[in-house]
Amino acid sequence: MTLFDVYSLYDIEPVRGEGSYVFTADGTRYLDLYGGHAVISIGHAHPKYVKAVSDQVGRLGFYSNSVKNSLQVKLADRLGRLSGYASYSLFLCNSGAEANENAMKLASFATGRTKILAFDRAFHGRTSGAVAVTDNPKIQAPFNATPNVEFVPLGDLAAVKERLATREFAGVIIEGIQGVAGIRMVADDFLRQLRTVCDNTGTLLILDEIQSGYGRTGNFFAHQHAGVRPDIVTCAKGIANGFPMGAVLISPSIEAKKGMLGTTFGGNHLACAAALAVLDVMEEEHLVENAAEVGQYLLDKLGAMARECDEIIEVRGRGLMIGIEIKGNAGALRKRLLFEEKIFTGGAGEHTVRLLPALGITREHADAFLTAFRKLLNS
């Protein structure tokens, strides 16, 4: 049997990680400024994380959601306190796509409506409902097409008002920052006005914080910069530092009913142990604050570089969620960063380099990237 060949792979295999670095079998060290698609939130092989997961697997790795699991209760309490959503309920699942699927189902259950409004260039996942609200026909199979989803331009309040005035829409789903689209920012004022329109039309506001959440932007969630409070928030990626996990934070206005949601693996003992260790490290090492500080340092330095270098079109982002749009091919530049400078970065489209490092990176890590990036742009 062979692997189903759907990934474009670099000819590099990391076999070990430590903090913001990964290593190949021959000992070559790479600075990881992508974190495996924003997943590595507290760094590779953090000792507290390793111990928590190792200790838990030695006790009980898994049992289903047919019995009590005090780790889930503890996680809900800690996450609620640290995120500012203590009054919300928590549903645990396995991935970001699954979190978004459940969020949209909840909106439909709560309102009795059938439609979801989404935004152009959005990315919400690859499962059936999640891909239906993703504006990318390349990953949408024919059976994923549905008349129950409509798209409007990001930031177009008039278009939102027009569609929601029909009162057909159960919810609006929006990313805190559009990541796959190239770190496309959502204006704070637009989010505030969107909240008002949703309130006025009985529509639930769903914030997809799968990539932009968990401290990445210098607040626990990106939407908190705008001071809004969604009805539903979805999380994944950095929630468990590499262990597959997703979560849905649900407003107390939405009533839970037995059997309305369910999952076999969601919120299992190992996942909860991993997620609790992540919150411990984030709190103890002040990683949200570090993301704000080092992220702003990077944005300031890149902004200054952009003013000096015609090759940079625009620098976008908040905290440690950064997109650098260049005139040339971003894929080629990223390949040179990887093979010549030993730095992992991400991409978004043809022209954008995406940075999504662990939240604990230092100014020294940032400077190493800035030096290498400038050198390659100048060459």
CB atoms within 10 A of CB 256: 12
Does residue 30 sit in helix, strand or coil?
strand
Average pLDDT per consecutive 10 residues, the chain (379 residues; last block may be shorter): 95 97 98 97 98 98 96 98 98 98 98 98 95 92 92 98 98 98 97 98 98 98 98 98 98 96 97 98 98 98 96 98 96 97 96 98 98 94
For residue 154, the 8-state DSSP code is: T
Bridge partner list, 204: 171
Handedness of CA 157, 160, 166, 168 (dihedral sign): negative
d(CA 204, CA 169): 8
Close Cβ partners of 351 (under 8 Å, ≥ 6 residues apart): 182, 313, 325, 326, 327, 328, 329, 330
- Any idea how long the chain is? 379
Contact 217, 225 (CB under 8 A): yes
Find out whether 42 and 357 touch, Cβ atoms under 8 Å: no
Which tokens hold the place of 248?
A: 């849905």
Those residues with Cβ within 8 angstroms of residue 82's Cβ, 6 or more apart along the chain or in another chain: 220, 279, 282, 283
Tokens standing for residue 276: 């609790």
Residue 113's nearest CA partner among 26, 238, 202 is 202
The predicted pLDDT at position 373 comes to 98
